[in-house]
Amino acid sequence: MKQLPPDTVRLLSSSQVITSVVNVVKELIENSLDAGASSIDVKLENFGLDRVEVRDNGQGIKAVDTPVMAVRHFTSKICRHEDLEHLETYGFRGEALGSICAVAEVAVTTKTEEDEISTQYTLDLTGKIVSQKPSHLGQGTTVSVMKLFKNLPVRRQCFSSTKKCKEELKKVQDLLMAYAIIKPELRLMLVHNKVVLWQKAKVADNRSALLATLGPSAIANLIPCHHHQEQPEILLEGFFPKPGADYSSTSTSNPDKTFIFVNNRPVQHKEIMKLLRQHYAAQYADDQARNRYPTLMLKISVPPSSVDVNLTPDKTQVLLHNKETALTAVEALLVSLYGFRPNADLPADKHLSSESFPSPSSPLQAYSERNAENSHSNDSVPRDGPKQSSADTSLDRQASNCSSSSSIADDWIVNQIPADLESNFSLYNDEMSQTVTKPASKSPERLVDNKMSAATISKVQISAEDWSRGTALTDPVSGEPLQPVIIHRPTKQNHSVPDEAKSESSSSKKTLNAITEKRAALTAYDMISNRTMRAPLSPVAIFEKEARAEVLREKPTASLQDISVAIHERWKNLREEDRKKYEEKAKKHLEHHEQRTKLASAEGPREPGVRSHMQGQKRKAPLSNQQLLDELFAAQPQKKMKNPAPKPSQPLPCSVAALRLQLQRLSSQSSAAPQGLRLVNRLASQSAWVILCGQRLMLLNPFRVEEALLFKRLLENNILPTASLQNPIQLTDGSLGGAEYTEALCSMEKQSPELNGAAFFSDPRLVANGFKVKLTPGVTSAERHLEVTAMADCVPFLGVEDLREILTAVLHKKARTVRECRPLKVTNYLQGEAVRLARQLPTNLSREDVKETLLRMEQQLGGANHTCIHGRPFLQHLTDIPITEQELVAGS
């Protein structure tokens, strides 16, 4: 890594700010992709606020680069600003890790191919290393971000509601889907609170990536398209909806399935999106199609020197130097596919204007952007005409000021601040009122004002220090720094209020930022001497409690109103003797309640202090190890600890020559063994065993062996328990992936048919993976009916795609055994079960148990790779036993 020169830092400066969990995940994923990773795991805890972990198998970070890996403006992507013209990586500023360190606790674990072990580094707020320790992880880099926005409570408060957190989680999944489509060779997995939400395996091409990401129903209506232009060089590739296809299956109400890429970078381009929507909606006469977003993938490839990605901090928006040519190429591709574009415009794009594109961060920026839009709307020159559009003019002017554009807000602040602030703010307010009343008109007075304001540009020089302190902009009247708008609330008048009214008003206050619960009057509970007691149940309540379960069993889809009506009818039609039984039960409830009331009155009310003390004792958490150590090692010189009694010991005669002779005897005896593994002794501190393999001393971890043996047995023999589905899942050729998959399913082993001809599949490859499938035959193959009536509920998110994975193994891999047909979700679940069972083994295994484990390892695992399910070896080499004196001297 090298530090960027100051002039390059100034040109690239983006004021990178982490404002959400998506920003963190996006920066870390792009770092992983730049490191050549082919597998990325994203793990979140509490929607990413407590922990964000991104693990990859890339090249890792070299040891010489680790001191500056999170320091701002240190990067290995570029060396100078001119390198942006040949940029082939996602990142280039060297600000991502440094920005994350400023708002969270960051730990980086990395290992290169040359390193023997991985190392975990803990970073401080400035990105410098605080501590480091060895780790067990393999090659690659793992970045753990803990306590996000811990020092910014206002920013963390934005995620206080569950709705906001779920929206953020959906944005993270959409981001991973975009990279999964553009990188088919990439394996991705998203885990939230230890539950796999979404994953995508390695595939061959973009079509397979779309199939794995969007599903077969969405990809069935997409066709590949290709367009190439030589001068200037533009290559368009992608998958577009079929002309004339049903818009309900080829479009959505939001743009999360419209993927646009520029040089393999997912971007948001408003004008390209508008073209795509216009030409797609032109096929349909229905007005509802004009408000939808087509499901498609568009990949635009241009030379790196023809695109500017240094526009916004998150790099989701780009500037194309030949924008008009690129738009013309996209339009030509769409016209060849859907026909000529209509003249009708689309309605206002609410999603793009409010979500996809950031709003102006200041009134001055909003005013500048509004002026640019008005000037653009006043230019009536067509795109293909000889004149240059206002957008191109502004782009050329921006390029002449700086070789690479920075963020819009920064450029406008530096170059466009007028001297007379009062006139500009009045001009902004006038412009706002004029935009509301007359959005498409501009008076001559406004044009004169614009010229006068442009003449006052660049008269005031504002330093970065004044701008960061908030003292750059001052009020021309008072000379004080401009303050944010404050909303004043009317103060309450201090009239004499009765104590009763005060108590009512204080009790009616609601606590903000807390979970509140609306409670009705106390009808079910009575407060007796500070104790909560359940009120006696009436005969109707007892009958309703018992009858509700019966009604739900008979009609599971009944609503609350239907249940109440049914219970009321049953009570009216109840026989007299049955009604007397419920009255007797209610009488017993009342007697029991009266006894408890008398007992509570006799004991008297509890003291609140004792109650709160007991509650406090219940809630008291155990002390952490650090607190215990602080108490044990506190400075108390007057109290001396008693010397512990000496442990009994006995000297034993031992010599190196005798030990070598004994090991040689063991080696000669083990030569007749099949694998040459003999136990020597156990290391009590590590629960590991020293074994002799030929002339080598090795360290055995028996728990890793047990993990592998348990996992193998579960893969081969475990049958997942199924739970009946309330609504069976219908299986069709489209949901299974094609007619050949349906035929493969129908050819599997079945039970004997029932009276109506229906039969359940008994093939162990289906039953062991938690699927109970029912086949109702028909006269023809089109009339037969397939449905899933029960599935395993122990595996999260098990579905039809996993059944398709089983059929793929049967059809293409000719899988015959249960182990060969395990889906990925089931395999991960069985791995967790194997680890859980292995942890239940006793810590100290006897010699006989370890011998039995070695014997089972040789019989069941054979000559396979002796590693556990996490890829760690069973045996670690310690040293070789010298045979001759020369080897002994050489080794010493």
Condensed to tens digits (0 to 9), the pLDDT of residues 599-625 reads: 776 665 554 444 444 444 444 445 455
Instruction: Say whether both 28 and 65 belong to one domain.
Output: yes
pLDDT, residue 60, reads: 93
Choose one of 820, 837, 867: the last residue of a domain: 820
Q: Is the pLDDT of residue 355 over 80?
A: no
Q: Is the pLDDT of residue 510 over 50?
A: no
Instruction: Say whether both 302 and 211 belong to one domain.
Output: yes
Instruction: Say whether both 126 and 89 belong to one domain.
Output: yes
Mean pLDDT of 363-384: 40
Mean pLDDT of 854-872: 79
Total domain count for the chain?
3
pLDDT, residue 127, reads: 86
For tokens 């077969």, the residue is: 216
Instruction: Say whether both 106 and 51 belong to one domain.
Output: yes
pLDDT, residue 604, reads: 55
> What CATH number does the domain containing 299 carry?
3.30.230.10
Mean pLDDT of 224-249: 89
Position with higher pLDDT, 560 vs 136: 136
The Cβ of residue 90 has, within 10 Å, a number of other Cβ atoms equal to 22
* Residue 537 CB contacts under 8 Å (≥ 6 apart), including other chains: 545, 585, 586, 589
Banded model confidence at residue 595, pLDDT cuts 50, 70, 90: confident
Mean pLDDT of 535-540: 84
- Nearest Cα neighbor of 822 from 745, 719, 749, 750 is 719
Query: In the sheet that 195-200 helps form, which strands lie side by side, from edge to edge?
Result: 129-135, 118-123, 105-111, 140-146, 51-56, 39-45, 187-192, 195-200
Q: Record the tokens describing residue 617, joined without a space.
A: 């004792």
For tokens 């006799």, the residue is: 602
Mean pLDDT of 487-507: 48
Inside any domain, residue 127: yes
Choose one of 768, 800, 820: the last residue of a domain: 820
**DSSP-assigned states of every residue in 441-479:** ---HHHHHHHHHHHHTBT-S---HHHHHHT-SSB-TTT-
Element (H, E) at 411: helix 408-416
Alpha helices in 531-655 (DSSP H): 539-554, 560-572, 576-603, 608-619, 625-632
Inside any domain, residue 221: yes
pLDDT, residue 423, reads: 43
Minimum mean pLDDT range among 149-163, 186-200, 725-739: 149-163
pLDDT, residue 83, reads: 63
Mean pLDDT of 294-314: 85
For tokens 């047909």, the residue is: 821
Banded model confidence at residue 351, pLDDT cuts 50, 70, 90: very low
Instruction: Say whether both 190 and 210 belong to one domain.
Output: no
Q: Is the pLDDT of residue 346 over 90?
A: no
pLDDT, residue 190, reads: 94
- Nearest Cα neighbor of 706 from 576, 574, 869, 825 is 869
Using alpha carbons only, give the angle 355, 361, 366 rounded to the nearest 5 degrees. 95
pTM flag (> 0.85): no
Quick one: what percent of the chain has pLDDT higher than 90?
24
Minimum mean pLDDT range among 196-200, 592-596, 635-639, 780-784: 635-639
Banded model confidence at residue 7, pLDDT cuts 50, 70, 90: low
Mean pLDDT of 710-731: 91
Instruction: Say whether both 183 and 267 belong to one domain.
Output: no
Return d(Cα 170, Cα 162) in angstroms, integer. 12
pLDDT tens per residue across span 90-131: 876 677 888 899 889 999 999 999 998 899 999 998 888 999
Q: Is the pLDDT of residue 730 over 60?
A: yes
- Nearest Cα neighbor of 318 from 275, 277, 271 is 271
Q: Is the pLDDT of residue 748 over 50?
A: yes
The DSSP code for 43 is: E
Mean pLDDT of 402-419: 38
Return d(Cα 71, Cα 101) in angstroms, integer. 9
pLDDT, residue 546, reads: 86
Position with higher pLDDT, 807 vs 527: 807
pLDDT tens per residue across span 23-33: 899 999 999 99
Instruction: Say whether both 273 and 124 belong to one domain.
Output: no
The rounded mean pLDDT for the chain is 75
Instruction: Say whether both 14 and 148 belong to one domain.
Output: yes
Minimum mean pLDDT range among 186-190, 495-499, 540-544, 714-718: 495-499
Cis upstream peptide for 796 (omega within 30°): no
Q: Record the tokens describing residue 580, joined without a space.
A: 């007397």
Mean pLDDT of 252-256: 89
Choose one of 288, 315, 338: the last residue of a domain: 338
Instruction: Say whether both 114 and 260 belong to one domain.
Output: no
Inside any domain, residue 503: no
Rounded (10°) angle between helices 421-437 and 444-455:
150
Inside any domain, residue 715: no
pLDDT tens per residue across span 146-169: 999 887 877 777 888 888 899 999
Q: Pairing state of beta strands 222-229 and 118-123?
A: unpaired
Inside any domain, residue 80: yes
Inside any domain, residue 298: yes
State the distance between the two ends of the chain, measured CA to CA, in whole angstroms.
41
Instruction: Say whether both 251 and 297 belong to one domain.
Output: yes
Instruction: Answer for the pair 206, 59: CB distance below 8 angstroms, yes or no.
Output: no
Instruction: Say whether both 13 and 122 belong to one domain.
Output: yes
Inside any domain, residue 332: yes
The Cβ of residue 312 has, within 10 Å, a number of other Cβ atoms equal to 19
Banded model confidence at residue 515, pLDDT cuts 50, 70, 90: very low
Instruction: Say whether both 9 and 148 belong to one domain.
Output: yes
Using alpha carbons only, give the angle 81, 83, 87 rounded to the nearest 5 degrees. 125
Could you tell me the residue range of the domain that residue 246 belongs to?
205-338
Instruction: Answer for the pair 126, 149: CB distance below 8 angstroms, yes or no.
Output: no
- Nearest Cα neighbor of 51 from 137, 174, 178, 142 is 142
Banded model confidence at residue 298, pLDDT cuts 50, 70, 90: very high
Phi-psi region of 530 (alpha: psi -120 to 50; beta: other; left: phi over 0): left
Q: Is the pLDDT of residue 449 over 60?
A: no
Mean pLDDT of 658-681: 65
Inside any domain, residue 64: yes
